[in-house]
Structure 1
Amino acid sequence: MDTRNSHEAEHLCVLVHGLWGNPNHLEVMAKSLRAKHPEQSLHILVAKRNSGSFTYDGIERGGERVCQEIEEEIEKLAKAGQEIKRLSMVGYSLGGLVARYAVGLLDSKGFFEKIKPVNFTTFASPHLGVRTPLRGWHNHIWNVLGARTLSASGRQLFTIDNFRDTGKPLLEILADPESIFIKGLAKFERRTLYTNIINDRSAVYYTTGISRNDPFTNLDKIKVNYLKGYDDVILDPACPVASTEPEQVVATYYDTLVRSSQTTLGRLPFLLAMVFFIPFGVVAFLVNAGVQSIRSNRRIRLHETGLAGIQPSNYRVPLLINGMREAVEDVYENLNSAQSNEYLANGIDEEAEPGSPVLERPQSSHAVSKLNLEEEKTGPAQEVPTLALADYQFRMVQALDDVGWRKYPVYIHKVRHSHAAIIVRVDKESFDEGRVVLKHWLEEEFIA
């Protein structure tokens, strides 16, 4: 990947890929950065030591590797006479969590006393994990299965791990207001996230958008408001949706029967795929998961003993201030996307706060993030039920929102794989809507 760095640049931008990923996934992003910011003003580092199955090894080990890459890059540049004075971090998918971990490590080592943290951006990153918000034992099969098929990263993403004997999952520690991770994150001049509102088969809206509700579950009943200049892709963060008055139509028994048959016929290809192809994919997925988990456990042992090219003791700081890849990925995403969210019943409060009637606004000059907003000019806010998240997830939402984010919902229309399209993971025409996302990020959000 040619991003042509210059020895004059004082600003370092680090790009971190996601689960099963590699630096090639960020090629379009890196080229877009370079086209906007010449090598004299921006030095680009695409992290590479977590490529492929190495992403199975856990968020903390991924963060330690990225932290070491950053330190080595800055040291290499210093020897060549180049001084880095500003740092930006960009994470895609799991890479956003890895980047958040690395930020905590850097800050705990006094890194930001010498280098100014500028931009922290995530694209489709599951900040709250990937646990499906379901209630009842029969609905937890996927949460249990998925958590045990991706080694350490799977346990952490599904929040069933006990991180360093804290009695809490890593993601909860990552969002603890008293942690090194929140402290480091809060020092960035700007925190921005982009979240798909539909068709993200890997990480759905509530977790990538850090939200306790999802106003986009039925797009037929809402009016989507776009950001001027980015029509049909970027939603207006100040007022992303408005309710529409449903038409009063009296349906006959015949109409209901016709719609039912049309729905069944429309789902026939999917049902056939489920019956004939999914079983083979699941078997391949589980076999691969077992093999990769064994390999991951071996790497983890080497990592922990310092035999993997990194000394973990250099990064094991106190956490609290006060105390068949493509095929396998496709199967995982299909299984994950088949889950349906559930919501808290009216009148039931979660631990953090009652459910919000509308989506949180981004913290910025655009608007102040709130849990309860006044009526918009478009009319009364649509009632959006609160998702059945775990108590610690509600606490994570609150803690992360308190830090302040500029949140941009993204509506990818052309493809049903918005998780890849949002960053143009593959350079192809059908992912062009992702280019609009990158354009908005570079023109409106990225501080050079």
Structure 2
Amino acid sequence: MQSVHLIVLIHGLYGSTLNLAAVKQELLALSSPDAPASSSRKQSIETVVYLPEGIKGPRTWDGIDLCALRIVEEVDNEIERLEDEGKDVVGFSVMGYSLGGLISRYLIGVLHARQPSFFSRHKPISFSTAATPHLGVLKYGTLTNTVVHAVGRQLFSRSGRQIYCMDEEPEWGGRGLLEFMADPGEDHVFVEALRLFPKIMIVANGCQDNTVPYPTASISASDPFIDLSTVEVDTDAHHIIKSYRKIEIPDPDDLPVDHSREIEDDGEEVEIKIKIIKNPISRVATEWKGRRRQPLPPPFMAFPWPLNYMLFLIFPLLLPFVLVFLTGAITFQNFHSRRRIRTHRDTIERQPLLVPSSAYLTETIQSTAREISDSLSSSIRPDTSIDGISTPPLSDPVEHSSKTPLLLTPAQKLMIRNLNHAMPHAQRVVAWFPWAFNSHAMLICRDTARFPWQEDGRGIVKLWAKFAHSAVFQVIGGKDSGDVEMHGRTGE
């Protein structure tokens, strides 16, 4: 049978498969028969990229668990289709963007909970997320964030309650789903499923991600980039951070003052006034290495000139109508989401979520642990700035700014410890788009036709795609991507 590496690519909240078109494009480009090969010795492994269709738009509001269960059915159908074509899925990878990363974590847990485990038949290869709120929505000690947090927790139905950690339901033992999924206990399947994947990548935006900020995307207890005036960042040509260091800005009150001119030659004292200007550096950079921020927020830049400027000027007059429309649309979608949840409630409750026991899985976990140990000793450097591995190195640790405190709950702190302990081999990649209004969409080049500046995220997309694509050759047979002949296709 033709060997296949199946890559499941999952979009985020209120998204669609079109949002990940650039990621799919890069994956298929790497899988093309025309892709360069560096060796005459080749092994035929076909790469299949599958984008689930069953969680588009408001259906992502129905809950992380329910979305994952829908995708499970689609994955089963896709594997059955491939087998009917005479193909064998020898490797399985998952890539999740934004909320899709949380859905991905639940997905692999459900697959692992089967008897026998899904992974006893299909070898786990790579697991990766980009801009995923692993800790849920964060709360900072600012007035704006407090207001947004109070409003946001009322939106997006069941998924909203889960990402705001307000879903303490009996089925999770009285805890929230995110805390439950980070539980490393012997009878909990989600962390165990993560440990099966020998290749893991966590992609996060370092700044300007107003949707999923750095700490929750990178599973970190601190945010060294919270104040851009306190760090100096070094990036490569693809806007990926290579290193960063703390900038020492002296307090003007502590600067030495020359008192030699305070007394004239005749002994008369002279009054000298010193004007102190503190922190003159702007927190947000409107320009960075030739990149300049667009003059208007992205929604207005989608319209042609001069309509975009006209809409921007009259927007305060349109705001009440916009708020009424959004309130009505959200209420309508929440109503239908609750109906769908009630319909599938029995299905959710019947899912067994206990770790299956088998000799194969024991060997798989031990083998993965050996691979992780080898990679840690040879290529991954620890970093003292966050709870994790392989982040860009710091010259000096950057302490969290007291001006904007990050208010982590005890449950979120526990998630950080458990998840980082479960993924010590995770490779972290930090993107840097300080000129963006919101870098969340730039990370995946979500809509470059309407917003051309999102093309700046192409380097991140290429790196993410190359990681998932090449992992199968590193895990199966120890081959790199240049030693293997690959053929790409996509299933949707």
Corresponding pairs, count: 382
| Alpha-carbon contact 2:27-2:466 (below 8 Å) kept | no
- Offset of 1:441 from its aligned partner? 2.3
Q: Does 1:16 align with 2:35?
A: no
Between 1:419-428 and 1:363-372, the stretch displaced more is 363-372
* Structure with greater strand share of residues: 2
2:217 is matched with: 208
Runs of 4+ that moved beyond 6 A = 247-252, 269-274
User: Which amino acid counterpart does residue 234 of structure 2 have in structure 1?
Assistant: N
- Unmatched segments (≥5 aa) in structure 1: 1-6, 261-268, 306-310, 323-361
2:444 is matched with: 423
| Alpha-carbon contact 2:207-2:433 (below 8 Å) kept | yes
Looking at structure 2, the residues matched to 253 and 147 of structure 1 have their Cα atoms a distance apart, in angstroms, of: 45
Q: Does 1:129 align with 2:136?
A: yes
| Alpha-carbon contact 1:26-1:423 (below 8 Å) kept | yes
1:143 is matched with: 149
Paired residue for 2:351, among 293, 298, 316? 316
Q: Does 1:62 align with 2:67?
A: yes
1:225-259 Cα shifts (integer Å, max 9, x gaps): 33xxx3361113xxx32112326768965978x99
1:167 is matched with: 174
User: Which amino acid counterpart does residue 318 of structure 1 have in structure 2?
Assistant: L
Residue 280 and residue 366 in structure 1: after superposition, are their counterparts in 2 closer, same or farther (change >3 A)? farther
5 Å matches for 1:35-434? 35-38=29-32, 41-109=46-114, 110-134=117-141, 140-163=146-169, 164=171, 166-178=173-185, 179-226=188-235, 230-231=236-237, 233-236=239-242, 240-246=243-249, 276=317, 278-304=319-345, 312=348, 316-318=351-353, 365-368=379-382, 379-385=395-401, 387-404=406-423, 405-428=426-449, 429-434=452-457
Residue 415 and residue 159 in structure 1: after superposition, are their counterparts in 2 closer, same or farther (change >3 A)? same
What is the DSSP-based 3-state SS (H/G/I as helix, E as strand, rest coil) of the residue aligned with 2:103? helix
Query: How large is the RMSD of aligned CA atoms in angstroms?
Result: 3.5
Residue 165 and residue 12 in structure 1: after superposition, are their counterparts in 2 closer, same or farther (change >3 A)? closer
What is the DSSP-based 3-state SS (H/G/I as helix, E as strand, rest coil) of the residue aligned with 1:198? coil
2:465 is matched with: 442
- Offset of 1:432 from its aligned partner? 1.7
User: Which amino acid counterpart does residue 380 of structure 1 have in structure 2?
Assistant: D
Looking at structure 1, the residues matched to 72 and 49 of structure 2 have their Cα atoms a distance apart, in angstroms, of: 15
- Tell which has more relative contact order, 1 or 2 (C-alpha 8 A, sep 6+): 2
What is the DSSP-based 3-state SS (H/G/I as helix, E as strand, rest coil) of the residue aligned with 1:367? coil
Looking at structure 2, the residues matched to 139 and 377 of structure 1 have their Cα atoms a distance apart, in angstroms, of: 29
1:307-331 Cα shifts (integer Å, max 9, x gaps): xxxx557x61135789xxxxxxxxx
Looking at structure 2, the residues matched to 43 and 372 of structure 1 have their Cα atoms a distance apart, in angstroms, of: 34
1:145-167 Cα shifts (integer Å, max 9, x gaps): 21121100110010100232511
Looking at structure 1, the residues matched to 247 and 138 of structure 2 have their Cα atoms a distance apart, in angstroms, of: 31
Q: Which structure has the greater CA radius of gyration?
A: 2
| Alpha-carbon contact 1:16-1:47 (below 8 Å) kept | yes
Between 1:22-31 and 1:423-432, the stretch displaced more is 423-432
Residue 272 and residue 186 in structure 1: after superposition, are their counterparts in 2 closer, same or farther (change >3 A)? farther
1:348 is matched with: none
Looking at structure 2, the residues matched to 233 and 441 of structure 1 have their Cα atoms a distance apart, in angstroms, of: 13
Looking at structure 2, the residues matched to 208 and 372 of structure 1 have their Cα atoms a distance apart, in angstroms, of: 13
What is the DSSP-based 3-state SS (H/G/I as helix, E as strand, rest coil) of the residue aligned with 1:10? strand
- Offset of 1:281 from its aligned partner? 3.6
User: Which amino acid counterpart does residue 415 of structure 1 have in structure 2?
Assistant: A
Tell me the TM-score normalised to structure 1 length: 0.76
Paired residue for 2:25, among 25, 31, 43? 31
Residue 255 and residue 132 in structure 1: after superposition, are their counterparts in 2 closer, same or farther (change >3 A)? closer
What is the DSSP-based 3-state SS (H/G/I as helix, E as strand, rest coil) of the residue aligned with 1:407? strand
Looking at structure 1, the residues matched to 218 and 393 of structure 2 have their Cα atoms a distance apart, in angstroms, of: 24
1:2-61 Cα shifts (integer Å, max 9, x gaps): xxxxx9451000000000101111111101000012375201101110001100100000
What is the DSSP-based 3-state SS (H/G/I as helix, E as strand, rest coil) of the residue aligned with 1:42? strand
- Unmatched segments (≥5 aa) in structure 2: 34-44, 256-272, 283-295, 298-311, 358-374, 473-492
